[in-house]
C-alpha cells in the first residue's frame, strides 16, 4: 500500500503561499469554456491511441471511444447552441451564440481531422504490420472480390431499399447516427423520368465490419467494411443507371429527452412515448466523405438545415465507433492489456456472514482493483435471510440484465418489503430502466421514480434486519453507499469506492433519504450525509471556506478533490478565494474543468490534473485538512450545477481512521504523484501531456499491482 505523507506545515521556502492576500480584480475570463474543456478531454483520450506503451488493439479501441464521446457531445451539448440560432432565424455573426458555436466547431473539426489522421496514418499501418488488414475494393484480389459479391447478394442486397427522390418519394426520415448513402444517378428511371438523386439507408442489423475467411487471406486476419461492400456494388443496386457520384453520410440529432413531469400523470408512459422520437430529433451535425461531391453535400446540408460549420468531411468510414466490432475479433493476447482479476477484500473472509462482519466495522471496497462480488453477496444474503424484512435500493445504471435486479425480485418473492427507486431518466439507459421497473413491479416490489424534476443519482442500498438484542428484538440497519453505479460490468472498468456499513448514524441518514424519495416529505436533519439538492452544495462551500479561515490564521490548510467534472461557478469562486487565502489545493478532474488554475492573485495555489489511462477514473473524493481532522468524503456527485441542484446526490464521510487513510493512500496520493498518465492544466486552458519516460509512475498500474490479482 502506498503511504501518504503526514500533513505538516509547509517549510519557509515552500513554493505554496500561506499568507492571506486580497484577490485581484476578477479577469473577464476567470472561467474556462465548458464545451472546449470537454473537447480537450476527448483530445486526451485520442492521445492514448498514439502511445507506444498502449497495446495495439486498445489503441484502436481508444479511436472508437473518441467517436462515441464526440457523438454524445453533439447529441447533448451542441443542440442548445444550434436551437438558439435556429430560433433567431438563421446562421451568421448576427445570430446569438454564433461566436461560441464557431469556436467550438473549429475545435471539433480539428479533433475529428486528427482522429482520422491517427487511424489512417498510425493505427491502420501498425495493424497491417501485424497482418491485420482492412481491405478496400481496390486492394481485394479476384477471389476476395468474388466472396464479397456473394456476401452482398446473399446477406446485404435483400435488405436494401433505395429511395429515388421525386415529388412522390420525398427525402426519407433518417434515424440518428444511422449509416446512409446519397447517390448521384444518370440516365432515366423505369418510367422514363430523369430522376437524379437517391438515398440508400443501410440496415442496422448488418455488421459494419466483416471478417474474410482465413483461406482467402493466408497469413493475415483480413476484414472488409460493410460500407465498402455496398460502395463496390452500388451500380447493382440501381440497374440501368450510372452512378457518377456518391457519399456515405450520417446525421447526428438532438437526443436529450425532455418531458414536463409536472404535466404528466405517468412518467414511465410519457418517457416510453418520448423514446420513440429520440432517433428523430433536430439535426445538429452532418458527416460525409471527404470525396463527397459538393452539390450532394449542399443538398444534404439544405435538407437538414445546418450551417457549413456543422458539416464534417471525413477521410474514412463515417462512424469509426463501429470498429469496436473489429477489436472484438482480435484475439492475440499481446494486443490487449494484461488481464487482472479483482481481488477479494483481505478484510472479508470468503463465505462470511456479511451482517456479522459489518457489525465488526465498516468495509471499504476499491473497484475495479477489488471485486464487486461482496456487494452482490451482501444483497444475496439479504434476499435469502429470513431475518431480513425490508430492502431499499436506488438504481441509476445497472444494465438490461442484472443479477442485482434478480436478487431484488427474489427478495420480493420471499415476502420481504422491497422498495426500488428507479431513475427512468438516466440518459441513454431510459429504455432499459423502464424494462427493469416493469419486471420489479410484476414481482411485487414497490417501484418509485424519485422526485419530480430531479434525477436520483445517489447509489444507496439499505437492509433492515430483525435481530435479537439481549431480551428484546430490534430492527438493525445495514447499508451500502457507492461512488459508482450498481453495474457489475462497469465495476471492472471504472475506478470507484463503495462502503458497506452498519454505523447507526450513517444508516439512519440513508433511511431518511429513502423516506424522502418515497414519501416526498421534507428531509429530516441528517447527521453525516450531505444531500443534494439541499445541503451538499452548502456543505462543500462551507468546507472550502473553513480551509480558507485556517489559512488566514496562519495554519496549514489543504484541499484535495477528485471528480469527473468541475463546472459550478460558485464552487470555483470559493476555491479561488481559498487559494488567495493561502490554501494549497490539488484537483484531479478527469473531464471538463471550468476552473482556470495558476493565475497570479486568483488561483496561483490551485493545481489541476487529469488522469487518462487504461481505466475510466470515476470516483469522487473530497479531502479537507480541517485543522488536522483530515475530513474525507466519498460521493456520487461531481461539482457541477446538475449534480448539486438538479439531482439527488449524497456525500458521506469515511469515519474509520484506517479506512480514511486508505482512501488517501489509494484514491488521492498515487494520482498526485502520477507522471505516466497525468495531464496538467495550465492557466491558458491547455493541458500539458504526461512526462512519461523510464520510471514514470502510473497510479492505475500501481493500484493494479498492489491490490488486484494476476490473471
Instruction: List pLDDT tens digits, range 169-228.
Output: 789 999 999 999 999 998 766 666 666 899 999 999 999 999 999 999 999 999 999 999
Q: Rounded to 10 degrees, what is the CA torsion of 215, 219, 221, 224?
A: -60
Instruction: List pLDDT tens digits, range 540-581.
Output: 999 999 999 999 999 999 999 999 999 999 999 999 999 999
**443 Cβ neighbours under 8 A, 6+ residues apart:** 409, 412, 413
Residue 647 Cα distances to 54, 127, 641, angstroms: 37, 44, 9
Residue at a domain's end among 330, 359, 380: 330
Peptide bond into 280 cis (omega under 30): no
* DSSP H stretches of helix in 470-526: 504-519
Residue at a domain's end among 472, 501, 527: 527
User: 204 and 189, same structural domain?
Assistant: yes
Cell numbers 489511462 label which residue? 613
Q: What is the pLDDT of residue 4?
A: 41
Q: What share of the chain is helix, strand, coil (3-state, %, to 5)?
A: 40, 25, 40
Instruction: List pLDDT tens digits, range 650-682.
Output: 999 999 999 999 999 999 999 999 999 999 999
Q: Where are the beta strands (DSSP E) in 187-303?
A: 197-201, 209-211, 221-225, 242-253, 283-289
Nearest to 176 by CA among 77, 66, 287, 269: 287
Q: What is the pLDDT of residue 471?
A: 82
Asked if pLDDT for residue 24 goes beyond 80, the answer is no
Mean per-residue pLDDT, 693-702: 94
* DSSP H stretches of helix in 385-429: 403-413
Q: What are phi and psi of 487, to 5 degrees?
A: -135, 100
User: 289 and 161, same structural domain?
Assistant: yes
User: 275 and 289, same structural domain?
Assistant: yes
What is the pairing mode between strands 283-289 and 311-314?
Answer: parallel
User: 567 and 509, same structural domain?
Assistant: no
Residue at a domain's end among 469, 498, 527: 527
Max distance between CA atoms of the chain, in angstroms, equals: 96
User: 368 and 273, same structural domain?
Assistant: no
pLDDT confidence tier of residue 400, bands split at 50, 70 and 90: low
Q: Where are the beta strands (DSSP E) in 273-414?
A: 283-289, 311-314, 340-341, 363-367, 388-395
Q: What is the pLDDT of residue 398?
A: 81
> Is residue 554 one of the residues assigned to a domain?
yes
Q: What is the pLDDT of residue 106?
A: 97
> Is residue 8 one of the residues assigned to a domain?
no
Tell me how many domains the chain contains. 3
82-86, 341-345, 610-614 — which is least confidently predicted? Answer: 82-86
Which residues span the domain enclosing 345? 341-527
Q: What is the pLDDT of residue 94?
A: 81
Instruction: List pLDDT tens digits, range 304-313.
Output: 999 999 999 9
> Is residue 229 one of the residues assigned to a domain?
yes
> Is residue 688 one of the residues assigned to a domain?
yes
User: 61 and 85, same structural domain?
Assistant: yes
Instruction: List pLDDT tens digits, range 27-66.
Output: 448 999 999 999 999 999 999 999 999 999 999 999 999 9
User: 284 and 194, same structural domain?
Assistant: yes
User: 388 and 261, same structural domain?
Assistant: no
Q: What is the pLDDT of residue 52?
A: 94
User: 573 and 517, same structural domain?
Assistant: no
Cell numbers 506545515 label which residue? 9
Read off the CATH number of the domain in which 621 is found. Answer: 3.30.870.10
Instruction: List pLDDT tens digits, range 454-503.
Output: 888 999 999 999 998 888 899 999 999 999 999 888 899 999 999 999 99
User: Hey, which residues are catalytic here?
Assistant: 457
User: 383 and 274, same structural domain?
Assistant: no
Rounded to an integer, what distance in angstroms lies between the CA atom of residue 61 and that of residue 65? 6
Q: What are phi and psi of 124, to 5 degrees?
A: -60, -45
Asked if pLDDT for residue 264 goes beyond 90, the answer is no
User: 434 and 317, same structural domain?
Assistant: no
User: 345 and 320, same structural domain?
Assistant: no
Asked if pLDDT for residue 269 goes beyond 70, the answer is no
Amino acid at each position: 500500500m502506498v503511504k501518504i505523507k503526514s500533513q505538516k506545515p509547509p517549510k519557509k521556502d515552500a513554493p505554496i503561499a500561506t499568507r492571506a492576500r486580497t484577490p485581484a480584480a476578477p479577469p473577464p475570463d476567470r472561467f474556462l469554456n465548458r464545451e472546449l474543456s470537454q473537447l480537450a478531454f476527448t483530445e486526451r483520450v485520442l492521445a492514448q491511441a498514439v502511445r507506444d506503451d498502449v497495446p495495439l488493439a486498445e489503441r484502436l479501441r481508444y479511436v472508437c471511444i473518441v467517436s462515441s464521446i464526440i457523438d454524445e457531445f453533439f447529441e447533448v451539448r451542441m443542440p442548445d447552441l444550434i436551437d438558439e440560432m435556429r430560433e433567431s432565424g438563421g446562421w451568421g455573426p448576427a445570430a446569438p451564440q454564433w461566436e461560441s458555436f464557431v469556436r467550438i466547431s473549429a475545435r471539433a473539426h480539428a479533433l475529428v481531422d486528427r482522429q482520422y489522421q491517427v487511424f489512417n496514418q498510425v493505427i491502420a499501418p501498425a495493424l497491417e504490420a501485424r497482418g491485420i488488414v482492412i481491405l478496400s475494393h481496390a486492394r481485394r484480389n479476384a477471389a476476395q472480390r468474388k466472396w464479397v459479391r456473394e456476401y452482398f447478394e446473399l446477406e446485404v442486397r435483400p435488405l436494401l431499399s433505395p429511395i429515388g427522390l421525386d415529388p412522390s418519394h420525398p427525402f426519407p426520415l433518417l434515424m440518428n447516427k444511422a449509416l446512409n448513402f446519397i447517390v448521384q444517378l444518370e440516365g432515366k428511371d423505369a418510367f422514363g423520368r430523369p430522376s437524379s438523386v437517391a438515398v440508400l439507408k443501410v440496415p442496422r442489423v448488418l455488421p459494419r465490419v466483416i471478417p474474410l475467411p482465413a483461406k482467402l487471406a493466408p497469413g493475415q486476419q483480413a476484414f472488409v467494411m460493410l460500407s465498402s461492400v455496398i460502395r463496390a456494388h452500388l451500380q447493382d443496386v440501381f440497374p440501368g443507371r450510372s452512378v457518377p457520384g456518391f457519399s456515405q453520410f450520417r446525421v447526428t440529432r438532438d437526443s436529450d429527452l425532455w418531458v414536463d413531469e409536472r404535466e404528466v400523470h405517468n412518467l414511465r408512459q410519457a418517457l416510453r412515448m418520448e423514446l420513440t422520437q429520440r432517433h428523430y430529433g433536430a439535426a445538429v451535425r452532418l458527416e460525409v466523405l471527404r470525396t463527397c461531391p459538393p452539390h450532394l453535400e449542399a443538398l444534404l446540408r439544405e435538407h437538414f438545415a445546418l450551417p457549413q460549420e456543422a458539416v464534417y468531411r471525413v477521410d474514412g468510414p463515417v462512424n469509426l465507433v463501429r470498429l469496436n466490432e473489429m477489436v472484438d475479433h482480435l484475439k492475440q493476447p499481446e494486443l490487449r492489456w494484461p488481464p487482472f482479476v479483482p481481488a477479494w477484500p483481505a478484510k472479508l473472509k470468503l463465505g462470511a456472514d456479511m451482517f456479522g462482519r459489518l457489525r465488526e466495522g465498516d468495509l471499504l471496497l476499491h473497484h475495479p482493483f477489488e471485486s464487486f462480488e461482496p456487494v452482490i453477496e451482501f444483497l444475496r444474503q439479504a434476499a435469502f435471510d429470513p431475518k431480513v424484512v425490508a430492502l431499499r435500493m436506488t438504481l441509476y445504471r445497472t444494465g438490461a440484465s442484472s443479477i442485482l435486479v434478480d436478487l431484488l425480485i427474489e427478495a420480493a418473492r420471499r415476502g420481504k418489503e422491497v422498495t426500488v427507486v428507479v431513475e427512468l431518466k438516466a440518459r441513454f439507459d431510459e429504455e432499459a430502466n423502464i424494462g427493469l421497473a416493469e419486471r420489479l413491479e410484476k414481482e411485487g416490489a414497490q417501484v418509485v421514480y424519485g422526485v419530480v424534476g430531479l434525477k436520483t443519482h445517489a447509489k444507496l442500498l439499505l437492509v433492515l434486519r430483525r435481530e435479537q438484542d439481549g431480551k428484546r428484538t430490534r430492527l438493525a440497519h445495514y447499508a451500502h453507499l457507492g461512488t459508482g453505479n450498481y453495474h457489475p460490468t462497469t465495476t471492472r472498468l471504472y475506478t470507484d469506492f463503495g462502503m458497506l456499513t452498519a454505523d447507526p448514524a450513517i444508516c439512519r441518514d440513508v433511511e431518511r433519504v429513502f423516506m424522502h424519495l418515497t414519501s416526498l416529505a421534507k428531509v429530516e436533519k441528517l447527521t453525516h450525509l450531505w444531500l443534494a439538492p439541499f445541503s451538499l452544495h452548502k456543505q462543500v462551500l462551507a468546507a472550502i471556506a473553513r480551509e480558507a479561515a485556517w489559512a488566514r490564521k496562519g495554519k496549514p490548510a489543504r484541499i484535495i478533490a477528485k471528480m469527473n467534472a468541475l463546472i459550478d461557478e460558485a464552487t470555483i469562486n470559493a476555491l479561488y478565494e481559498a487559494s488567495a487565502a493561502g490554501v494549497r489545493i490539488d484537483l484531479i478532474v478527469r473531464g471538463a474543468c471550468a476552473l482556470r488554475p495558476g493565475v497570479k492573485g486568483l488561483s496561483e495555489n490551485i493545481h489541476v490534473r487529469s488522469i487518462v489511462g487504461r481505466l475510466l477514473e470515476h470516483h469522487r473524493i473530497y479531502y479537507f485538512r480541517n485543522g488536522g481532522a483530515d475530513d474525507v468524503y466519498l460521493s456520487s456527485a461531481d461539482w457541477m450545477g446538475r449534480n448539486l441542484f438538479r439531482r439527488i446526490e449524497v456525500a458521506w464521510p469515511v469515519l474509520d481512521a484506517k479506512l480514511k487513510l486508505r482512501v488517501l493512500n489509494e484514491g488521492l496520493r498515487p494520482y498526485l504523484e502520477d507522471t505516466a498518465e497525468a495531464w496538467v492544466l495550465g492557466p491558458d486552458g491547455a493541458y500539458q501531456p504526461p512526462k512519461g519516460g523510464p520510471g514514470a509512475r502510473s497510479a492505475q498500474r500501481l493500484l493494479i499491482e498492489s491490490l488486484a490479482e494476476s490473471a
